[in-house]
Amino acid sequence: MADGARMGAKSKRILVTGGSGLVGRAIEQVVKEGAGQAEEEWIFLSSKDADLTDAAETKAVFDRYQPTHVIHLAAMVGGLFRNMKYNLDFWRKNVHINDNVLHSAHEHGVTKVISCLSTCIFPDKTTYPVDETMIHNGPPHSSNFGYSYAKRMIDIQNRAYSEQHGRMFTAVIPTNVFGMHDNFNIEDGHVLPGLIHKTYLAQRNGTSLAVWGSGNPRRQFIFSLDLARLFIWVLREYKEIEPIILSVGEEDEVSIKEAAESIVAAMGFKGELVFDTSKSDGQYKKTASNSKLRKYLPDFKFTPFSQAVKETCDWFVANSDQARK
Ligand code: NAP
Ligand code: GFB
């Protein structure tokens, strides 16, 4: 179909790659709750629709939907321990996915693409807080160099598509995300879903809760529904090629120990917390500044951390059978 002019098609067709994941499901929820607009058609993809590491399958899904806008979330994703095991896979899969999606978007004349970096990709040796100008200022932490370099290449590609073809391809840099529909797998997932799952099992089995590492590292956590609302704003209002950090403030940074205690309170766990220091701490901190975001959205309200943790814990307990784990 020339230029995607399908009979009765809405004027804006927004393709969300990685739409079945933590962030994608949050965007789907806020769109359903009214954040969408009449002229918009939203399409949420999973890997069943196309393996985006494959160029032909990527082209086919773009041919099928003829998107005008793309929110590009699809990636090989994982917590510290999965990254430490599979740095090569994180590099290769994500480089292929990103090149296929961005090039298909270019070839299909997509108006705007928003891709996803992460605050864990910043230089390991750096001053704090990190900001958007510092992405390429030095090597990332050794634990996730594969993922980090693959993500950094998105920023390079965005600049190249802008310079050579005038494309509006940009990116956001979320901090650690958590919420409903996360990956609660204890080995491969991130810290909050991992601790929620472990607390659930400790409660059921009457055992202690093993927090990995010292509990001293520090993180800024953003609730997936807040990130989703910010994604919708970026889609509509953000016009820079340069990426923008989407994170709670520096003052909202908590230690892993404090995060574990929030989960314990939310789950009503009465057992013992044990810190397994034989496990890696990973990056001690990656404190990011959200001052660029605040210049645009000074009044945006983040969900209080304890409330977001409680909502996530309640969701997991109610959906533990079908949750990813
Ligand atoms: P997630 O829950 O693991 O979801 C990943 C999504 O990507 C799923 O929809 C998955 O499809 C899809 N996907 C994976 N490999 C694919 C492939 N080969 N072809 C097509 N689709 C594929 O991840 P998430 O936490 O929502 O992350 C979304 C984005 O945010 C990622 O780009 C990630 O790097 C970024 N990010 C996440 C965090 C965080 O803390 N979670 C922090 C910063 C940035 P299936 O469901 O079919 O597997
Ligand atoms: O979310 P997480 O796995 O990844 O957090 P990062 C790891 C930190 O939490 C380490 C501690 O300090 C761990 O010792 N921790 C304590 C646990 N208990 C647990 C647990 O049960 N599970 C896990 N996973 N950690 C990732 C990057 O870094 O951040 C990824 O490697 C990605 O590439 C992600 O960008 C957002 O925050 O350390």
Predicted pLDDT of residue 147: 98
Q: What is residue 7's predicted lDDT score, i.e. its pLDDT?
A: 41
Which atom of ligand 1 has the smallest separation from the CA of 190? 40
Q: What is the DSSP string of 309-322?
A: HHHHHHHHHHTTTT
Pocket test for ligand 2, best of 86, 190, 224, 227 (most atoms within 8 A of CB): 190
Domains present along the chain, CATH in parentheses: 2-178+220-251 (3.40.50.720)
Quick check: CB of 74 below 6 Å from ligand 1? yes
Pocket flag, ligand 1, residue 177 (CB < 6 Å): yes
Burial environment of residue 234 by CB neighbours within 10 A (0 to 12, 13 to 18, 19 or more): buried
For residue 193, report the distance from its CA to the centre of ligand 1, in Å. 15
Element (H, E) at 170: strand 168-174
Q: How far is CA 248 from CA 1, 199, 223, in A?
A: 43, 25, 9
Please report the sign of the dihedral spanned by the C-alpha atoms of residue 70, residue 234, residue 94, residue 26.
negative
Q: How far is the CA of 21 from the centre of ligand 1 (A)?
A: 5
Ligand 1 pocket test, pick from 44, 73, 91 with the greatest ligand atom count within 8 Å of Cβ, gives 73
Q: Is 73 touching ligand 1 by the criterion CB < 6 Å?
A: yes
Q: How far is CA 210 from CA 141, 165, 194, 254, 298, in A?
A: 24, 51, 10, 18, 39
Residue 8's pLDDT is: 52
Hey, is 15 helix, strand or coil?
Answer: strand
Residue nearest to atom 3 of ligand 2 (CA): 79
Distances (CA, A) of 73 to 115, 118, 147, 189, 256: 6, 11, 14, 17, 26
15, 16, 17, 23: residue to mutate for ligand 1 pocket, most atoms within 8 A of CB = 23
Is residue 24 in contact with ligand 1, taking CB distance under 6 Å? yes
Ligand 1 lined by 308 (C-beta under 6 Å): no
**Closest ligand 2 atom, CA of 143?**
31
Contact 288, 247 (CB under 8 A): yes
Closest CA to 180 of 74, 14, 18, 27: 27
- In Å, how far from its chain's centre is CA 198? 22
Name residues whose C-beta falls within 8 Å of residue 48's C-beta, 6 or more positions apart in sequence.
none
Say if residues 320 and 182 touch (Cβ distance below 8 Å). Answer: no
Handedness of CA 325, 231, 219, 269 (dihedral sign): negative
- Termini Cα distance of the chain: 41
Distance CA 107, CA 221 (A): 36
Residue found by looking up tokens 């409903």 in the block:
180
Q: Helix, strand, or coil here: 206?
A: coil
Taking phi over 0 as left and psi of -120 to 50 as alpha, with beta for the rest, 268 belongs to left
Active-site pick, 65, 86, 128, 147: 147
Q: Tell me if residue 95 falls in helix, strand or coil.
A: helix
φ/ψ of residue 186, rounded to 5:
-65, -35
Residue whose CA is closest, atom 44 of ligand 1? 118
The residues, any chain, with a CB within 8 Å of residue 51's CB and separated by 6 or more, are 57
145-165 and 87-107 are packed helices; what angle lies between their axes, rounded to 10 degrees?
Answer: 20
> Atom 2 (ligand 1): residue with closest C-alpha?
21
Which tokens belong to 318?
Answer: 């109610």
Contact 284, 214 (CB under 8 A): no
DSSP H or E segment with residue 40:
strand 40-44
Residue 284 designated active-site: no
Q: pTM above the 0.85 mark? A: yes
Dihedral angle, C-alpha 191, 128, 76, 113, nearest 10 ° = 130
Tens digits of pLDDT across the chain (325 residues): 333 344 457 899 999 999 999 999 999 999 999 888 999 999 999 999 999 999 999 999 999 999 999 999 999 999 999 999 999 999 999 999 999 999 999 999 999 999 999 999 999 999 999 999 999 999 999 999 999 999 999 999 999 999 999 999 999 999 999 999 999 999 999 999 999 999 999 999 999 999 999 999 999 999 999 999 999 999 999 999 999 999 999 999 999 999 999 999 999 999 999 999 999 999 999 999 999 999 999 999 999 999 999 999 999 999 999 999 9
| Whether the CB of 202 sits within 6 Å of ligand 2 | no
